């Protein structure tokens, strides 16, 4: 059974370093832009949230539409509380 979606989302924040840590790590280079999360409860329940918790859904209406369509098509999957 799917778990309930949390009301608040907390994205992982980037850490500024001079070079990647040694080892077999996967990392990303931070470019200027936005760091946001999408909360998708279904085709009619899509929110786009900034890293500070601001709801910017209406600023990204095209992205909201695409996420809703992906959810309706079954391309977005909810995980249960055990991340399955």
pLDDT higher than 70, residue 79? no
Only one residue has tokens 């989302």, namely 9
Q: For 45-63, what is each residue's pLDDT tens digit?
A: 899 998 888 999 999 999 9
pLDDT higher than 90, residue 66? yes
Angle (CA) 41 44 50, round 5°: 60
Q: Residue-wise over 22-55: b if at least 16 C-beta within 10 A, else e?
A: eeeeeeeeeeeeeebebbbeeeeebbbbeeeeee
What is this structure's pTM?
0.63
* Residues with catalytic function: 30
What is the distance between the alpha carbons of residues 25 and 12, in angstroms, rounded to a whole number? 16
């Amino acid at each position: 059974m799917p778990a309930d979606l949390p009301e608040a989302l907390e994205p992982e924040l980037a850490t500024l370093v001079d070079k990647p840590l040694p080892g077999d790590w996967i990392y990303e280079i931070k470019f200027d832009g936005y760091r946001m999360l999408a909360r998708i409860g279904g085709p009619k329940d899509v929110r786009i949230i900034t890293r500070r918790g601001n709801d910017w859904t209406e600023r990204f209406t095209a992205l909201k539409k695409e996420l809703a369509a992906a959810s309706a098509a079954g391309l977005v999957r909810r995980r249960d509380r055990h991340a399955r």
